[in-house]
Amino acid sequence: MTSETAWPADRRITIRDLQAATDRGEPWSMLTSYDTLTAGVFEQAGVAALLVGDTSAEMVLGHHDTLPVTMDQLISMVQSVVRGTKTALVVADLPFGSYQSGPQAALANAVRHLKEGGAQAVKLEGGRRVVPQVDTLTGAGIPVMGHLGLTPQSVNVLGGLRRVQGRGDAGEELLADALALERAGAFAVVLETVPAELGRRVSDALRIPTVGIGAGPDCDAQILVWQDMAGLTTGRLPRFVKAYADTRGGLLEAASRYAADVAAGRYPDAAHSYA
């Protein structure tokens, strides 16, 4: 592995491993993943945890936001990611509508992610309003990752997904939400699209890891949507996105060459045909 942290090579990374890295002051990485092949690549690269996120609604299924993705669709993707990995901690998103009605709905759907999907943890959005759900899940032995700041499932309340959350007095509310999630037993909290100074304040206040996505450099871990990280997405992207490759350009070139070879009769040639 290329990661500086010595993750276990013979078992799944656990929430205790992530906490230990945070306690040592060692930042760790997380990426979204929705299929077997990318999951294996990311694990080999040293990414400690993979999120089978409801962002798959947009990145895989072509929807305009995260709301339409269902439990059944996510469970299928969770299964694929689990099959493609051996050591990465796999976290499964609880999609919109799967936990908002209360603790029992949250428990039933989280159990599905673990029993049917094979995930080791679940993630849900919200602060103090979802503390009863977090209490119930952690009480049942299900690790829970929280998610604060820009919460995509609340797109219709937030008025869009480009707005920085937690500025001014709202930062105190976000900090209170983070502390409430920690008290309820969450093992980590995602902070999305918040001022860097607030990311630092929350990280300093919590013992559990903070996972930043547009929350500055002081979070204990970082997560990106893998298509953003790899340069597959186009258009106006959030300021925090850093593309580490030009995957879209590479795929476009390869597919264009393939189409041209087929059109010109160059593929398949004798070397790619059976005798």
- Tokens, residue 134: 């977090």
Q: Which residues fall within 8 angstroms of residue 16, CB to CB, at 6 or more apart?
A: none
Question: Quick check: bond before 268 cis, omega within 30?
Answer: yes
d(CA 173, CA 187): 20
d(CA 263, CA 275): 23
43 is catalytic: no
- Whose CA is closest to 181, among 140, 135, 119? 135
Task: Say how far residue 172 (Cα) sits from the centre of its chain.
Answer: 25
Which residue spans within the chain are E strands per DSSP? 28-32, 49-52, 89-93, 121-123, 144-149, 188-192, 210-213, 221-224
Cβ atoms within 10 Å of 101's Cβ, excluding its own: 10
Determine which one of 182, 192, 197, 253 is catalytic. Answer: 192
CA atoms within 13 A on the CB side of 268: 6
Strand partners of residue 210:
189
d(CA 131, CA 180): 7
Q: Which residues are catalytic?
A: 192
